[in-house]
A and B are shown apart, each in its own frame.
Chain A
Amino acid sequence: MGMTITEKILAAHAGVESVRPGDLINCRVDIALANDITAPIAIRNFRKINAKKVFDRDKVVLVMDHFAPAKDIASANQIKFVAEFAEEQEITHFYDGAEMGVEHTILPEKGIVGPGDLVIGADSHTCTYGALGAFAAGVGSTDLAAAMVTGEAWYKVPETILFELKGKPAKWICGKDIILYIIGMIGVDGALYKSMEYSGDMISHLSIDDRFTISNMAVEAGAKNGIFHADDITKEYVEGRFQREPVYYESDADAEYFQRIVINGDELEPQVAFPHLPSNTRGISEVGEVRVNQVVVGSCTNARYSDIELVANLIKGKKVAKKVRMIVIPSSPAIYSRAMKNGLLEILIDAGAIISPPTCGPCLGGHMGILADGEKALTTTNRNFVGRMGSTKSEIYLAGPAVAAATAVTGKISSPEEIV
């Protein structure tokens, strides 16, 4: 019987011929990741058992991005604590200050993760790297601590739901619309404990950035991972970038799936997730009149170069609506720099947007755009839970970059059609 791509990567990293859903296996990890919020607990666990050295100083990655640049004294102390550990352990990939970007943007960008990898990360959006054909899943700090010491992690092999993405995506449709549509369809626990795998001819129309967005939000459907097969687009992205040798795994034709779901590209319209769950989605034509106080283009979900470029192109020569704060947060220094050199930041600033340094910032209610009581925000981030971006009396609407640009200009949640 055949195996899925997820089963093959897990089997290879467990050193066994084959695995089936439900098997409990111990896997070698290629990369173990933590951030300024999750690393401190992992480091304390590391100390508690008197561990002396991380399993491989090149494979433990520490990114200071959530409350960085430090938002207050306590978060500065957390960052300092992790920095001291990184120095003691001579961690190769420690990122802070000018090198700092949102973790799930910079790991692929720097070629630290790539096809065929098994990545464990103390951050729920670690699943982002599935876009490259890697198995990547979020865990908590204790699991991460164990992996930092042993280079291993235990997994229960998940069942897989196969999403067949068919046809060409309709106009304005980007990765965010596809994943919001899927989460709206199956619910926030629709893929609980399961793997989400993508196939179909639509994928050749999806940029690598679109795929990052789709894999990124697998956790919003409760999934363990969200994975694509590598194709020419993946290979072009990875070549000359990935620091190790990629391994390209493919699902067998007779692999077994828990469920198959077909998504037709021409049926899609831009999606908006209403408060307070990512599954509470509506097509843009059904949104009605929702005025907003803030628009955020940021986070590990939607703040890569193509996202910033799309927003800048749509907003060029227009103005952000009065009383709307538009905050754009390029998710890595490289993206920031490229957007600056190519004039995108100037377009955005001229339109009345605020440009923030790379950080997770307001996505999790950290800093750089916290909402007041009663305020509403349209954001390209990943969660619209109560209080996620600030006040528990605020409201968060999730959408892709095109809707974000249109909303910033009109001041109410809008289709990009309204501003072109």
Chain B
Amino acid sequence: MMKGKAHIFGDDIDTDAIIPARYLITSDPDELAKHVMEDADPDFPSKMQRGDLIVAQKNFGCGSSREHAPIAIKGAGISCVIARSFARIFYRNAFNMGLPIFESDEAADKVSAGDEIEVDMDSGVIKNLTKNEEYRAAPIPPFMQELIRSGGLMESVRKKIGS
């Protein structure tokens, strides 16, 4: 169960906004976390709390393939990202490195900045505790669930090569 305050972002939040290229001289999660979402909202790194959520509109994470983007979000302690839709490379990256993400039109429509949100990872039920509403996320494809259960992509590769 994940619980935190919602931070609202719009359409087409690109990976340059999530973590600008000037910080790609490292892949350390703590370093990247200091600058998360900085070019979309310069105050974000200082005002967010660990456990908070990002709620965005369509095509979140478009642009470059940099895995530094989900690493920065996870490193900052954001518990999950809910969006109307995700760009495909970001979608794969998030699952591969263990950042929970959910697609939900309802949440994208109804959640306001500062709402207290609770997400049940298994059922995909999103509760808005501030507004006393409940939204559904698109189910995570079984293949991805299997990937998560086996501990992520690298763990499944580890099993394959028996290392």
Enumerate chain A interface residues (CB-CB to B < 8 A).
24, 37-38, 40-41, 44-45, 48-52, 66-67, 72, 74-75, 78, 121-124, 126, 138-143, 145-146, 149-150, 154, 188-189, 192-193, 219, 222, 224, 277, 364-366, 383, 385-388, 392
Contact = CB atoms under 8 A, between A and B. Distances in A.
Closest 10 A/B residue pairs (Cβ): A74-B25, A140-B93, A142-B96, A140-B67, A49-B158, A189-B59, A50-B163, A124-B65, A364-B21, A387-B39
Contact of B88 (A44, A75, A78, A192): A192
Contacts of A121: 65
22 contacts: A24-B143, A37-B66, A41-B68, A49-B154, A66-B21, A74-B25, A122-B65, A139-B92, A140-B96, A142-B153, A150-B160, A189-B58, A192-B88, A222-B59, A224-B88, A364-B21, A364-B64, A365-B16, A366-B21, A385-B14, A387-B17, A387-B39
Given A124-B64, A150-B160, A388-B16, A222 B88 contact: yes
Contact of A385 (B16, B22, B26, B68): B16
A277 B58 CA distance: 14
A74 B154 contact: no
Contact of A365 (B21, B62, B71, B158): B21
Given A72-B25, A74-B26, A188-B12, A143 B96 contact: yes
Interface centre among B20, B155, B157 (most CB of A within 10 A): B157
B27 A41 contact: yes
Interface in B11-60: 12, 14, 16-17, 20-22, 24-27, 39-40, 58-59
B85 interface: yes
B161 A149 contact: yes
Given A192-B85, A222-B59, A383 B65 contact: no
Nearest to B95: A142
B12 A189 contact: yes
B146 to A, nearest CB: 10
A146 B62 contact: no
A138 B21 CA distance: 17
A26 to B, nearest CB: 11
A51 B163 CA distance: 7
A146 B88 contact: no
Contacts, number: 137
Given A149-B161, A150-B160, A385-B63, A124 B25 contact: no
Contact of B154 (A48, A138, A139, A387): A48
Contacts of A387: 16-17, 20, 39
Contacts of A72: 25
Given A74-B25, A143-B96, A189-B12, A138 B89 contact: yes
Contacts of A52: 163
Contacts of A154: 143
Interface of B: 12, 14, 16-17, 20-22, 24-27, 39-40, 58-59, 62-68, 70-71, 85, 87-89, 92-93, 96-97, 141, 143, 152-155, 157-158, 160-161, 163
B89 A365 contact: no
A122 B154 CA distance: 15
A5 B89 CA distance: 22
B92 A140 contact: yes
A138 B65 contact: yes
A145 B63 CA distance: 20
Given A41-B27, A51-B163, A364-B21, A222 B157 contact: no
Given A41-B27, A51-B161, A140-B93, A193 B88 contact: yes
B157 A146 contact: yes
Given A44-B27, A50-B163, A188-B62, A149 B39 contact: no
A359 B82 CA distance: 36
Nearest to A123: B65
Contacts of B71: 41
A145 B152 CA distance: 12
A222 B154 CA distance: 26
A365 B20 contact: yes
A225 B74 CA distance: 28
